Amino acid sequence: RDQGRTWSKVKSDLQAGVTAGAVLPDRQFVLVSQTAQVALSHDGARSFKLLNVPVPTLFTGVAGVAGNRLAVVGLGGVTTMSLK
């Protein structure tokens, strides 16, 4: 909106610090945390919903991949998970 000049606090339900985030091709936003949580936004990052995580680990990176999936990077390596 204003190129980052102002910030707003957003409820994400993450229990620890955000370690990475990504904007997906369809304009969804995803955040990952130190406590193996993944939060997804469908509304321009105004709110987030926690996703079920198949292999919990400390996450350090995230990216969108084909087939409506995420690639998450953490202490256990790289894994993919569904956005649903």
Reported as a pLDDT band with limits 50, 70 and 90, residue 28 is very high
pLDDT tens across 62-73, in order?
Answer: 999 988 899 999
For residue 32, pLDDT over 80 is answered with yes
Cβ within 8 Å of residue 80, ≥6 positions away: 65, 69, 70, 71, 72
Taking every pair of C-alpha atoms in the chain, what is the biggest distance, in angstroms?
38
Confidence of residue 25 (pLDDT cuts 50, 70, 90): confident
How far is residue 17's CA from residue 35's CA, in Å, rounded to a whole number?
A: 8
Backbone torsions φ then ψ of 61, nearest 5 degrees: -160, 160
pLDDT at 62: 96
Confidence grade of residue 42 (pLDDT, cut at 50, 70, 90): very high
Q: What is the pTM of this model?
A: 0.86
Quote the pLDDT of residue 67: 86
